[in-house]
Structure 1
Amino acid sequence: MTKADAVRKELQHTGKYMMQYGLAWGNAGNISARTEGDRYMITASGTFLGELADDDLIECDLAGGVYGAAGKKPSKETPMHRAVYDNRPEIGAVLHASPFYSTLVACSDIELPSNWFVETMYYLERVERVPYYHPGTEALGEGVREKAKKANILLLENHGVLVYDTTIREARMALQTLEMACRMLVESKASGIGIRPIARDVERGFLEGAGYKPRREWPE
């Protein structure tokens, strides 16, 4: 099995996973993963993530080249994915979706804390907002490019979320952690239950010394 074949199968699995766990709906959302060098595989325009056929995944490169598309077009959101891969060479997968609670937070001015529990401390360590631009535009791609190095979670205002990480599996876990945290945030506010945060110095100590995951490097 080639690297491209393996990536295709893992993306198909990820699409089903996202639908199964309420992380995607209808034909909203698009996902991608690096294959080799400057190439990545992305879902075709208008596909249903829960039923991705082999030809629903198209290989592209960072220069805009498209390979083996068989008459289909890469997702119109390709500029966002390309902006991440171009600016973060360690990133192996990008997931764009509109999960209910995460999108609700993205459509609001609510701040999403990271210091609640182990997974939020790691996966939500850096969350940035991207102002609204029309989906699929180069302007949105440039908005993502501006924030790509500052976080691994981007809230796309009045649109959805963009999550990216070193592997497809890590990106999946980050997306699910994001949705869980946003659900906790929304429901705690609605119920009047306050969430007790972990002290920031304790959070820093965890990230620097717990060995839960390799420490991320962020620009100052």
Structure 2
Amino acid sequence: MRTIRKLGQEIIDVGQYMMNYGLAWGNSGNVSKRIDDDTMLITGSGTYMGHLDETDLVKVTISSGGYNETGKRPSKEIPMHAAIYQARPDAGFVIHSSPFWTTFAACTNLQIESKLFIESMYYAERIAYVDYYHPGSQELGRAVGEKAKEANVIILKNHGVIVFDSSMQEARMCLETIEMTCRMAAITKMTGLNPAVLSPDTATDFLDHSGYKPRRLW
């Protein structure tokens, strides 16, 4: 159990952080961390994101979805998480959640523009969309796996969002950034304001030459 605690502390910490800052609510959402090429640690089914401990974390085999049947059941969203890890060897941490503004965007035809500010240009450089499939379904997992090849922010229609990155800190920043970007998009729509969208050339120049962070290789 101590080993699980050590491996999963980042999951426990990010669950509390998400709850504290309105990025999760109740037992909605799930988080996973890659342990090795074919193993992930994922939150258990029905766990409360703000009160996670080591007993809420389950080791799952990525390729098969298998886990220890005598312990806690893992989240039903194994297919989504596993598909991301299989499609993206660079993925080390996955967060699925339904924060208000991003879920608002997922339930409407709100258009999300990433060429707005530094963080959105980097963390939301590519946003993909997946049509509604039932949570935990193989169909949803396959659709997310395909979109993960081209984007690390995937908005799930009428569901929420799933993000991934190399580390917990970067995945959390992806989630925070898409939530802020969706909030800005909704407010500009409601107020009639016109956002000052940067040109594609400016965004590309920023990503290639600003030195903010190494540009992702898609």
Please classify the TM superposition score into its range, dividing by the shorter chain length: over 0.9
Q: TM-score, normalization: structure 1?
A: 0.94
Aligned partners of 2:205 and 2:98: how far apart in 1?
A: 32
Determine the structure 1 residue equivalent to 2:79. Answer: 79
Q: Shift of residue 216 of structure 1? A: 0.9
Matches within 5 A, 1:23-62: 23-62=23-62
1:22 match: secondary structure: coil
Q: Is the 8 A contact 1:8 1:41 kept in 2?
A: yes
Q: Is the 8 A contact 2:153 2:163 kept in 1?
A: yes
Inter-CA distance 114–95: structure 2 relative to 1 (3 Å threshold): same
Aligned partners of 2:138 and 2:67: how far apart in 1?
A: 21
Aligned partners of 1:54 and 1:192: how far apart in 2?
A: 47
Determine the structure 2 residue equivalent to 1:183. Answer: 183
Deviations 1:146-173 (A, max 9, x none): 2111100000000000000110110001
Q: Shift of residue 63 of structure 1? A: 2.4
Matches within 5 A, 1:87-166: 87-166=87-166
Deviations 1:155-213 (A, max 9, x none): 00000000001101100011001101111111111122221111211110000111211
Aligned partners of 2:4 and 2:94: how far apart in 1?
A: 16
Q: TM-score, normalization: structure 2?
A: 0.95
Q: Shift of residue 65 of structure 1? A: 5.3
Deviations 1:118-148 (A, max 9, x none): 0000011000000100111111101111211
1:142 match: secondary structure: helix
Q: Is the 8 A contact 2:110 2:186 kept in 1?
A: no
- Number of residue pairs aligned between Structure 1 and Structure 2: 218
Q: Which moved more, 1:147-156 or 1:194-203?
A: 194-203
Inter-CA distance 67–207: structure 2 relative to 1 (3 Å threshold): same
Runs in 1 of length 4+ with deviation above 6 angstroms? none
Q: Which moved more, 1:56-65 or 1:77-86?
A: 56-65
Q: Is the 8 A contact 1:58 1:66 kept in 2?
A: no
Q: Is the 8 A contact 1:55 1:70 kept in 2?
A: no
Which consecutive residues of structure 2, in runs of 5 or more, have no partner in the other structure?
none
Deviations 1:5-47 (A, max 9, x none): 4331110000000001100111110000111231110000010
Deviations 1:59-100 (A, max 9, x none): 112122545565211100010000000110010011000000
Determine the structure 2 residue equivalent to 1:195. Answer: 195
